[in-house]
Amino acid sequence: MGADVIVGAQFGDEGKGKIVDTLVHRNNYEIVVRYNGGANAGHTVIFDGKTFKLHLVPSGIFKHGTICILGTGTVIDPVALVKEIADLEAAGVDVSGFRISNRAHLILPWHMILDKARECERDARAAESKSATTAIGTTGRGIGPCYETKAARIGIRMGDLKDDVVTTFLAKLDSMYRHFLHDLHLGEITLKRFNLPKLPEPDAVFRDILIAKNIGRFITDTDELTRAAWRSGKKILLEGAQATHLDIECGTYPFVSSSHATSAGACVGSGLPPTAIENVFAVAKAYTTRVGNGPFLTEQETEIGNLLRDRGHEFGTTTGRPRRCGWFDADLVRRACEINGAQKLIVTKLDVLTGLDEILLSTGCDAMGHPVYERFKGWDKLLTAVRVWNDLPHEAQKYLSRIEELSGARLAGVAIGPSREQIIWLD
């Protein structure tokens, strides 16, 4: 049996967390592996009237007996993770199936300070020269700097937390501290200028990390565990964070995150070979949103953009920032389906479009780089209780069928509300 992948087809926040939670219950996956990113992601899962906001732990944790893994490709703030696990346990969620890769890298306070300092510096430079900022609009969670120390081969891995030799661990911390202090010129002056804290000394970082020692019980060789599960025919779901167009290779560089968010990244980030992948599900919102800077062809800085933001509650789960909103960009999603080899497309938040007189969908650009729109008639029927395709208004069916046609993937599901039950399956 092969593994299935869930991947974002736009700029993130497509509702992947809800889809993972729903699919785990529908398809009975036994293992869920999150394969990239860190606490920059935010997943909201709603069931039994309760709302859970997750940043690190895979959404599969809500199905009893599922093994939920933070894979090799992820980067982990141990202090944030301890809190997330404590919150889940306090809500009565069984976390005994949770596992962390011994190869995943630790995000330390230094990574977060550098992330913020760089963004402030870019904004300040733009203000001085009265030009547009080159800031990426990161989540400030230290994601980019952590992948940098990983690539520079001075990173500290989760497996190191289990290391009983304190001196070895402290030596690693010390070497990374010197890297930040000297190589990256993160002197006090820069930090003071932007009101950022002084870099904590390695001893202080070590003391903070000690509270994370109790997550040692979850750390293991998850690559081996996942491959063994695959060999024995277990059902595996690989959960991507962020999205195709935020991927470090395929995204709108430099306005991207620093990980491999696509289905290709699902292999390196989970330890499975490419031949293990069976189904790839691309997830796209019925319109487009983006948080942070970077190109956005169909952005609506108008009343319609505000309306989508209000109705869709388009504020970042991690940072609370308002998301930029606009019409569906079919070419963006088509490219995502192609890059990821997605055979199946799941469209989310269709209900947000209810009540609009007219809905626009971009099929590409004209010679001037402006979007070329097709126009669709809207519908008034409330969709939240719809469970089968035939009960969707004819206008909604027409809009979705056109999205399916342009995407090159088969429409497999349509989400019409935030809770687990609010989804129409087409297969």
Active-site residue numbers? Answer: 13, 43
**Residue 136 in the binding site for ligand IMP (CB under 6 A):** yes
Stretch that binds ligand IMP, among 133-141, 375-383, 384-392, 403-411 (CB under 6 A): 133-141
CA distances from 406 to 119, 364, 399 (A): 37, 11, 11
Q: Judged by CB under 6 A, which stretch of 101-109, 141-149, 219-227, 372-380 contacts ligand IMP?
A: 141-149
Q: Considering the rule CB under 6 A, would residue 74 count as an interface residue with ligand IMP? A: no
Question: In the bound complex, what is the minimum distance in angstroms from residue 243's beta carbon to ligand IMP?
Answer: 7
Q: Does 141 bind ligand IMP (CB under 6 A)?
A: yes
- If residue 180 lies in a helix (H) or strand (E), which one and from where to where? none
| Amino acid identity for residue 166 in this structure | V
Question: Quick check: 172 binds ligand IMP (CB under 6 A)?
Answer: no
* 144 near ligand IMP, judged by CB under 6 A: yes
Task: Classify the C-alpha dihedral 270-275-276-279 as positive or negative.
Answer: positive
CB of residue 292 vs ligand IMP: minimum separation in angstroms?
2
- Binding span for ligand IMP by CB under 6 A among 26-34, 130-138, 295-303, 367-375: 130-138
78 or 240: whose CB is closer to ligand IMP? 240
Contacts of 310 (CB under 8 A, 6+ apart): none
How far is it, in rounded angstroms, from Cα 83 to Cα 86?
5
Residue 383, both tokens? 């969709």
Which one of the spans 132-140, 199-207, 279-287, 338-346 is the region binding ligand IMP (CB under 6 A)?
Answer: 132-140
Nearest residue (beta carbon) to ligand IMP: 292
**Which part of the chain contacts ligand IMP (CB under 6 A), choosing from 79-87, 117-125, 131-139, 332-340?**
131-139
22 Cβ contact partners less than 8 Å away, ≥ 6 residues apart: 420, 423
- Residue 21 near residue 47, CB atoms below 8 Å: yes
Query: Burial code of 388-411, b = ≥16 C-beta within 10 A, e = fewer?
Result: eeeebbebbeebbebbbebbbbeb
Please say which residue, 148 or 223, places its beta carbon nearer to ligand IMP: 148
Q: Would you count residue 257 as binding ligand IMP (CB under 6 A)? A: yes
Q: Is 137 in the site for ligand IMP (CB under 6 A)?
A: yes
Interface residue with ligand IMP, options 242, 263, 288, 348 (CB under 6 A): 242
Q: Which of residues 39-58 bind ligand IMP (CB under 6 A)?
A: 40-42
Q: Does 292 sit near ligand IMP (CB under 6 A)?
A: yes
Three-state SS across 193-259?
Answer: HCCCCCCCCHHHHHHHHHHHHHHHHHEECHHHHHHHHHHCCCCEEEECCCCHHHCCCCCCCCCCCCC
Beta-carbon contacts of residue 390 (< 8 Å; ≥ 6 apart): none
262 lines the binding site for ligand IMP (CB under 6 A): no
Residues 6+ apart with CB under 8 A from 118: none
219: contact with ligand IMP by CB under 6 A:
no
Token pair belonging to 292: 């942070």
Question: Is 94 strand, coil or helix?
Answer: coil
Residue 13 or 329 with smaller CB distance to ligand IMP = 13
Which CB sits closer to ligand IMP, 115 or 223?
A: 115
Binding site for ligand IMP (CB under 6 A): 12-13, 40-42, 136-139, 141, 143-144, 241-242, 246, 255, 257-258, 291-292
